[in-house]
Copies of this chain bind each other. A is one copy, B any other.
Amino acid sequence: MARKSFPLSKVYGLLEPGPVVLVTTAGGEHANIMTLSWHTMLEFVPPLVGCVISNRNYSFSRLLATRECVINIPTVEIAGQVVGCGNTSGANLDKFKHFSLTPRPAMQVGAPLIEECFAHLECRLTDTRLVDSYCFFVLEVVKAWRNPAVKNPRTIHHLGGGNFMVAGEKIRLKSKMK
């Protein structure tokens, strides 16, 4: 698997642009995959990520039980599978098998990496205070990976109703922002 360790201090640059992500959880008979767009950075270092996983989703109880997950970042090449994972439930389907995605062991958590994604964030659940109100989970990224061969990842960005925007051109502006 073509991936390299990625500095935790740069994780924000992967999530800030708002890509659709695939969250994997372990536990049960098979690992599960959930498609998700409702996430935000909360802190640079250690990287904290907040995300919404509805209690109508199979991954909700898995994340609460295992307190671990992996945030995998896909590109347009597997957009069909990404949407497929969003339209099905792991309660009665092994999504890895069904969508021909390849699970690989993570280093620090029990949930698997998805080989077909270009970046992976191994996460531990650290704060559940807003789970009751908004199904909002606070995760700490404990290990990050990135495929260095993918220079310009064409991430996908949900516009609603089955419409997606694909990452376009890059521009550089003089900025003091991180």
Contacts and interface: CB of A to CB of B under 8 A. Distances in A.
Interface of A: 10, 12-13, 16-19, 35, 37-43, 48, 50-52, 76, 79-80, 83, 86-87, 127, 129-130, 133-134, 136, 138, 154, 156-178
A80 B177 CA distance: 13
Identical copies in the complex: 2
Nearest to A82: B173
Given A158-B17, A165-B167, A175-B86, A134 B42 contact: yes
A12 to B, nearest CB: 6
B160 A10 contact: yes
Contacts of A175: 83, 86-87, 161-162
Contact of A50 (B50, B79, B86, B87): B50
Nearest to A152: B165
B169 A168 contact: yes
